[in-house]
Every structure is written in structure tokens, then in C-alpha cells.
Amino acid sequence: MLFLEIKTISTETADKAYLTEEGFKALDCTESELFTIKAGCNEVKVNLYRLNQSTNSIVGPRVQLYLPKITYKYLNLPESLALSALVDRPKKTIKIGPFLGYLITRNKRLRIPPFTTQRPMLQLFSKIAREYGVISFAFAPQDIDWPNRKINGYIATPLPDGNVLWRKDTFPFPDVVYNRVLNRSSERKDLINETVKNLQKVPGLHHFNPRFLNKWETHIILSRNPGMVEYLPQTALLRNFSDITEFLNKYGKVYIKPINGSLGANIIKLEKVPTGFQFQYRRKRKNQSGIWPDRLALQTELTKLLGRRLYVVQQGLDLLTYQGRVFDVRVLLQKNGSGRWTTAATVARVASENSIFPNIAAGGTAIPIEKVWESFTFGDWKTSEIRQKLLDLGSNVHKTLEEELGNFAELGLDVGISKTGHVWLIEVNSKPSRKVFPKNQPHLKVQSIINIIDYARYLSGFSNPQNNTGDYYESNLYTD
């Protein structure tokens, strides 16, 4: 694998590029040989010529490619960055990059680029991307210049004092777009929908995790797989009040969930008790609970709470608790630098006292799964039958969803474990949060970002597949 350092040269001839003598030897090419130079999804054909070294100063590595400034402009390359390129000699291609774009939405209330609450997280992504030789930048739909195939995005630039400056620059359409639109209301806007559809039409551009998952759609897709049925709680689209009473009569307790909800918002738990119907839900960051005495009160109050949203009604489950608190297991599935799925992390999310919501955004706490598992005296987590079931479940989930919905690079599975040891798939998230990692396991968060960067390099053609065996395996991320 041969890399070239990219330099500019003052000439107005756009169809020529220049190599040092060492470059010609390394590429084993001939004078005026035709090559294609690619940057992201943009490309130009040039003839390669020897650089007149007597009139040009050579600095740094001597295997260098010199491009005219007009070619830089045509490819929409950022002139302020140090660039390198990967050579594919058989295909006569020189590929500059790789370029990774983070698709975001712009927050009008913020005055500091890149105008998003994700700024700290994107800075960490950008830092790791730089360490892995990836040019990454953030952009919103308004930053795309479709006719000229360029993006006026923002790149995180480290400063000597340790701070980070987000600087505006010009970039080609990237090799890979990582969809970081993090709320459903933004995703539903016409501008975002149109942008995502148009990006997916760009030849050579890879776009992963393009949208949020709909709970009902996800259930229907997964239930078509015979290997998934045992993991899925009984679920139905809520059409009328009788659906709720039918589930309550059959299971004793049920969950009512918005099909497009996130972070535990607007979920209602109902349970039949001798004095009526016990309820629990969360509104405006506060947990609400009580008892509705009869079916009339149940129907009246639910009508007020549910409004016009679409919901599913789901079988209530008798799950294990940790120190008397509700918990679930978050399994983070990600693709790696080989394009293979891995289990990047498995952690427990424990609800706060008297809460039914283990979500971190609802006050839950992330705890190492090994610690929770030890509390049940079930033995070693790594060798447990439940862990193997989670691996099998993850394999089934990602294969089934990708067959129906397209390319994903990461999925978050929320799993419950019953008191009899049965594994239940509660929910699948296509935009999993990185706030889920335990504070004493920061390496899991870092590795989850490295996996995304590695996968972007893989899609861009800048990394070789590793010699992994099997279609599915778990990363060894439990050692410090």
C-alpha cells in the first residue's frame, strides 16, 4: 500500500500532475501516463509528469504528488490541510483522503460553530479521526453546494493552548457520511429528508445509519425471522382501548410506547392491582405514578395522555432487578475496520429508585455488566449462557434489519432478562447514545468511536480487511 504526500504547484494546466523522481520509481509509471485522482466522490483525470526539482523545493517525504491549484479547486480540496493519497497502481487511481462527513442539524440558538449541541462529542470524533488519518468535518444541509459538488463544512482544529477551533473550509463530497441527526423532529423535516435522499444518490458515497427506527416497523421486520420470535415480547399496534384491556387481561401488566419515541419519553406502564390500575409514566423529566380506580378512569386518563400519537402496546415482563431497581442490558453492535459486525460493549443500565426507566437520559446509571451479573451469583459473565444468547440475538438483529432497511454501522439493543433466564429484546436503536458507558470504563466510549472511524476507512478503501474468522464475533474490550 503506497501513500503519497500531496502538495500544490503554481501552474494553470489542470490536466497535469507532477511526481518527484522517487514518486515515479515507487509507482513504476511512465512519463505522461494517465491516472485518475479522486477526492471523496469528486475526481479528475491527469497525466503524470516528472517534477523539475531544480526549480522546486522538496520538503519532507520525497514521494510526493504536486497538483496545480486549479485542480485543487476543481476537486474542492481544503488548501489549509496536509493531505495524503493512497495509490491503486493496477487501477491507475490516486485517492486523496479519506473524507468523513458528519451530517448534523444547525441549532439557531448557538453562535459557535458547528452550531450543534453535539460539539464536544464531535470534537472527540474529530480528534480520533485525525489520529487515524481521516479528514472529518461537520456539515448541515444548508452547507451543501449541490451543483459544484462541494460542502462548506466545519473542521475541528486543535490550538496550542489545548482548545479547539471549528474552522470553515471547503470539502469535496465525502467518501462516507455518518448521519448524526439526533432527534426525530429534525429528521421529519423536508430539508433533512431531501438531503438524505440526495446523498444516497451520489455515486461512490457511503451513507450509514440514515434514519431512526420505528418501533412497530422494527417489530414487524424482526418477527418475520423465525429465529427472532422467541426474543420478542407480544406487541400490537394500538388502535383502540380494547387492545389495552385485552393485553391487561392476558398479561396483568403492559407497556404503551410511542412508535417514534426515544429516551423513554411518553412510555406508560400499566398493571392490574386489586384497587384498580396502577400507572407509571414520565412527563417533563418527572416520574408520575398512582392508581386509576376503574376502567372508566383508565380510559379517560389514557385518552388525555396519548393524544394523537401512534403507539404500540407491549406485553409486560417479569424481569430481574438489581438491588431492587429495574435494569436492562444495552448491547452496542458496531461494524469494524473489516466491515464485520462486533459487539463493541455490553453494559447494564439501572433505573433510579422507584423509576421504571433505566435510560440514562431519564436518570438511569450505567454499571459494568460484570458487576451486576456477579450480584446474582450466576458465575462469570464472559462464560455465561446469557452472554452467548446476546451474541446470537445481536447477529440475528443486524442481519434481519439490514436486509430490509439498508446499511447501518451501529445498533443499540435494549435487552431484558427474566427471572427464569429468558432473554427479551425490548427495543432496537439506530442512533445509540454514547452516554451509556460506565464512568469507570471510558475505554468503551473511545473504542466505540474508533470502530466508526475504522469502518469509514474500510468503506473508503483505505484499510485492508482483517483476517477475522466467522461472520460474527465479540470484541475483547473488557481489559483495561
Domain membership of residue 167 (yes or no) is: yes
pLDDT at residue 37, rounded to an integer: 96
Q: How is residue 141 annotated by DSSP?
A: G
DSSP string, 278-293: EEEEEETTEEEEEEE-
Domain membership of residue 348 (yes or no) is: yes
pLDDT at residue 379, rounded to an integer: 82
Final residue before a domain boundary, out of 63, 96, 129: 96
Check whether residue 292 and residue 194 sit in a common domain.
Answer: no
Number of structural domains in the chain: 4
Domain membership of residue 218 (yes or no) is: no
We report the CATH number of the domain holding residue 257 as 3.30.1490
We report the CATH number of the domain holding residue 380 as 3.30.470.20
Check whether residue 438 and residue 408 sit in a common domain.
Answer: yes
Check whether residue 196 and residue 261 sit in a common domain.
Answer: no
pLDDT at residue 1, rounded to an integer: 66
CA pair distance 103, 143, nearest whole angstrom: 10
pLDDT at residue 192, rounded to an integer: 94
CA pair distance 342, 250, nearest whole angstrom: 38
Domain membership of residue 86 (yes or no) is: yes
Domain membership of residue 329 (yes or no) is: yes
What pTM does this model have? Answer: 0.90
Check whether residue 73 and residue 126 sit in a common domain.
Answer: no
Domain membership of residue 221 (yes or no) is: no
Check whether residue 380 and residue 299 sit in a common domain.
Answer: no
Final residue before a domain boundary, out of 96, 124, 142: 96
CA pair distance 338, 123, nearest whole angstrom: 25
Quote the strand ranges of 69-109, DSSP E: 83-88, 93-96, 99-103
We report the CATH number of the domain holding residue 37 as 2.40.40.20
CA pair distance 340, 333, nearest whole angstrom: 10
Question: Which residues are bridge partners to 413 per DSSP?
Answer: 331, 428
Check whether residue 336 and residue 458 sit in a common domain.
Answer: yes
Check whether residue 92 and residue 108 sit in a common domain.
Answer: no
Check whether residue 329 and residue 448 sit in a common domain.
Answer: yes
Check whether residue 362 and residue 427 sit in a common domain.
Answer: yes
Domain membership of residue 193 (yes or no) is: yes
pLDDT at residue 4, rounded to an integer: 86
Check whether residue 445 and residue 337 sit in a common domain.
Answer: yes
- Sheet containing 235-237: give its strands across: 235-237, 311-315, 253-258, 268-273, 276-283, 286-292
Check whether residue 457 and residue 379 sit in a common domain.
Answer: yes
Check whether residue 27 and residue 89 sit in a common domain.
Answer: yes
We report the CATH number of the domain holding residue 161 as 3.40.50
CA pair distance 369, 204, nearest whole angstrom: 40
Q: Which domain, by its residues, includes 9? A: 2-96
Final residue before a domain boundary, out of 268, 299, 315: 315
Per residue of the chain (480 residues), give pLDDT as tens.
Answer: 678 889 888 877 888 999 988 888 888 888 999 999 999 999 999 999 988 765 444 444 468 899 999 999 999 999 888 899 999 999 999 999 999 999 999 998 999 999 999 999 999 999 999 999 999 999 999 999 999 999 999 999 999 998 999 999 999 999 999 999 988 888 989 999 999 999 999 999 999 998 899 999 999 999 999 999 999 999 999 999 999 999 999 999 999 999 987 666 788 999 999 999 999 987 777 788 899 999 999 999 999 999 888 999 999 998 999 999 989 999 999 999 999 999 999 999 998 887 878 877 777 899 999 999 999 877 889 999 999 999 999 999 999 999 999 899 999 999 999 988 999 999 999 999 888 898 889 999 999 999 999 999 999 999 754 433 333 233 332 222
Domain membership of residue 462 (yes or no) is: yes
